[in-house]
């Protein structure tokens, strides 16, 4: 396993990060429950395999299966007796955590409420990386950054990141942080795959300029690039109820068709070739990247 810097910090994380979006019981309502269906014992075994392979980086979010993902990840680490200092835990805040008008967003109030709940579910007294999960068109960036900076000062959070923001907004946030003396965002978590390369246009150059880390989610385009699917079969498996992320399927099938002979010539899988593409670009253009993948390699 190779280890990369987490953004422009001295913390090193495994190049592969286990995303735990699928951790949670089945049979419940909600978007993420469509792809969940995992008991604690299974979660423990997945985390154990990752640790044995050298993975020290684990990513979740408060919205995944209504908090069950955080709870199961925390319990898995406890069941396995993993020293807290040996793992890097990342989670996110933004999406609805209740039915109230303030149970969402990146306001100071929601962040302060949410961090306490996440810490309790994860059974830890600090988060290594706390990320804004999406863009909040209402809350001023200054308010969000000040709240995060206070959490870092209190020792509840060590580093902060952002997910699914546009390049201009991230650059603006970094400028505000510098002007106000707040802690900077160290990472960006964004969708990227060989079938969805929009990130290369503005996000990747911005990351290099700002010395930020990139956590790639869904490097297999929600499983479409795994080699298991082709034209007419994309509605099978979890894609039948959770067709995400949106992908130009014709382009995806062209990519799969091009990768099949490469995989055969190297005695490997189409999925490995797709992941290697993301890794090669990381080596060429950026030294801070990690790939966030679930247990099937198709986050």
CATH number for 155: 3.20.20.100
Residue 78, Cβ density class (10 Å: 0-12 exposed, 13-18 middle, ≥19 buried):
middle
In a domain, 299, yes or no: no
The answer to whether residue 229 sits within a structural domain is: yes
The 10s digit of each residue's pLDDT in 200-234 is 999 999 999 999 999 999 999 988 999 988 887 75
φ, ψ of residue 218 to 5 degrees: the values are 55, 55
**Is 100 domain-assigned?**
yes
Sorting pLDDT into bands at 50, 70 and 90, what band is 281?
low
Residue 6 forms part of a structural domain: no
Grade residue 150 by pLDDT with cuts at 50, 70 and 90: very high
**Cα torsion at 42, 298, 59, 145 (round to 10°)?**
-150
DSSP for residue 64: G
For the cut 60, the answer to whether the pLDDT of residue 28 exceeds it is yes
Mean pLDDT of 80-95: 98
| 277 assigned to active site | no
35 pLDDT band (50/70/90 cuts)? confident
**DSSP assignments along 88-125, one per residue:** EEEEEE-S-SSSSTTSSSS-HHHHHHHHHHHHHHHT-S
Instruction: For the full predicted model, state whether its pTM sits above 0.85.
Output: yes
Mean pLDDT for the chain overall: 90
Domain presence at residue 94? yes
- Tell me which of 64, 191, 192, 277 is the catalytic residue: 64
- Tally of structural domains, the chain: 1
Write down the pLDDT at residue 284.
Answer: 56
State which residues form the domain around 236: 11-293
- Record the tokens describing residue 88, joined without a space: 């890097």
50-66 residue pLDDT tens: 999 999 999 999 999 99
Q: Does 298 map to a domain?
A: no
Q: Are 155 and 127 in contact (CB under 8 A)?
A: no
In this structure, the strands spanning 290-293 and 12-14 are: unpaired
């Amino acid at each position: 396993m190779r280890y990369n810097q987490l953004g422009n910090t001295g913390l090193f994380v495994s190049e592969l990060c286990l995303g735990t979006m699928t951790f949670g019981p089945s049979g419940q309502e909600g978007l993420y429950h469509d792809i969940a269906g995992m008991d604690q014992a299974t979660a423990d075994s997945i985390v154990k395999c990752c640790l044995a392979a050298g993975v020290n980086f684990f990513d979740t979010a408060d919205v995944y299966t209504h908090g069950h993902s955080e709870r199961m990840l925390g319990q898995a680490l406890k069941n396995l007796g993993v020293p807290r200092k040996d793992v890097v835990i990342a989670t996110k805040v933004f999406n609805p955590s209740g039915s109230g008008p303030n149970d969402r967003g990146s306001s100071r109030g929601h962040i302060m409420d949410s961090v306490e709940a996440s810490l309790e579910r994860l059974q830890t007294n600090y988060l290594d990386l706390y990320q804004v999960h999406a863009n909040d068109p209402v809350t001023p960036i200054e308010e969000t950054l000040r709240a995060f900076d206070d959490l870092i000062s209190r020792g509840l959070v060590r580093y902060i990141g952002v997910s699914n923001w546009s390049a201009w907004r991230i650059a603006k946030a970094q400028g505000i942080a510098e002007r106000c003396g707040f802690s900077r965002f160290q990472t960006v978590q964004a969708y990227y795959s060989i079938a969805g390369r929009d990130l290369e246009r503005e996000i990747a150059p911005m990351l290099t300029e700002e010395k930020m880390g990139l956590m790639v989610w869904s490097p297999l385009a929600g499983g479409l690039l795994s080699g298991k699917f082709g034209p007419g079969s994309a509605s099978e498996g979890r894609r039948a109820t959770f067709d995400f992320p949106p992908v130009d399927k014709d382009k995806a099938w062209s990519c799969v068709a091009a990768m099949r002979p490469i995989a055969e010539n190297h005695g490997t899988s189409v999925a490995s070739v797709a992941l290697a593409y993301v890794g090669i670009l990381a080596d060429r253009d950026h030294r801070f990247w990690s790939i966030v993948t679930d247990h099937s390699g198709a986050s």
